[in-house]
A and B are shown apart, each in its own frame.
Chain A
Amino acid sequence: MKISTIKELLDADVLCGVESLEKEVHSACGSDMMSDVLAYVKDQAVLLTGLVNSQVIRTAEMMDMVCVVFVRSKRPTLEMIEIAEESGIVILATKKRMYEACGTLFVNGLNNTKD
């Protein structure tokens, strides 16, 4: 699935990384606990979260993720956007809640783990 498709499905705003919207991603995860993302996630390219602080972007960066989606209308700080831009991470923001956002992406085909 292209990141631009995620944007459309979630009716999301693009806060940075417009130039990477055509990148293909194959899997995603949703969590507000960065500890769990670091410990359990493998090869997921997209992180959906309701947590807003700079460590969300750094965690994504350490895990080689390419896109962070903030749910429930959460807005990242300018500093977070700058960190994301520097590491080439796309930031999306949606009004949808975590459950609905994850479910929407899952039923539309973003459900494979990369092999």
Chain B
Amino acid sequence: MGEYLNFHYDVDGENFVSAGQASVELKKTLRRLGLPPETIRRLSIAMYEGEINMVIHAGGGEADVDIYEDKIVIVLKDHGPGIADIALAMQEGYSTATEGVRSLGFGAGMGLPNMKRYTDEMQIDSTVGEGTTVTMTVYLS
């Protein structure tokens, strides 16, 4: 099988203050596993951007992180409004974030492009009215 670790996190969509907790937990775990600092940072930033997205755009969701010998796969799943035009959402600067979200320091439309930049593979599956699943893979050399 090769898979040796799985971590599951629930991401609370009601609580902006606690947003990012799953990413903090993941980062601690990756450190404990002794992964290279640069790999940890890439995964942490990608996970954090995705986690914040689930909180500010989708009312929360869940994260599953599978750690294999040669790769780490992060799956972020929510039951929010979905993304109608994924190509548009992927564009730098595109954001539907409200003024309220912006005043909290987010909503520049940089998160999804940043997640793509920091991972080796990223796939978005989304259905309007049903939710969004973002799958990101980072290979360990």
Contact = CB atoms under 8 A, between A and B. Distances in A.
Interface residues of A, number: 21
Given A53-B17, A58-B23, A36 B41 contact: no
Contact of B110 (A39, A56, A64, A79): A39
A107 interface: no
B134 interface: no
Contacts of A35: 105-111
A51 B104 CA distance: 7
B104 to A, nearest CB: 6
Interface string B96-131: 000000001111111101100000000000000000
Contacts of B52: 55
Interface string B39-55: 00100110011001000
Given A39-B113, A55-B52, A33 B27 contact: no
A34 B105 contact: yes
B16 interface: yes
Contacts, number: 67
Contacts of B106: 33-35, 55
A40 to B, nearest CB: 8
A59 B107 contact: no
B113 A54 contact: no
A100 interface: no
A39 B44 contact: no
Nearest to A61: B24
A38 B24 contact: no
Contact of B20 (A32, A55, A63, A79): A55
Q: 10 shortest A-B CB distances, which residue pairs?
A: A35-B108, A58-B20, A39-B110, A34-B105, A62-B44, A62-B48, A51-B105, A39-B114, A35-B110, A54-B17
Interface of B: 16-20, 23-24, 27, 37, 41, 44-45, 48-49, 52, 104-111, 113-114
Interface of A: 32-36, 38-40, 51, 53-56, 58-59, 61-64, 79, 87
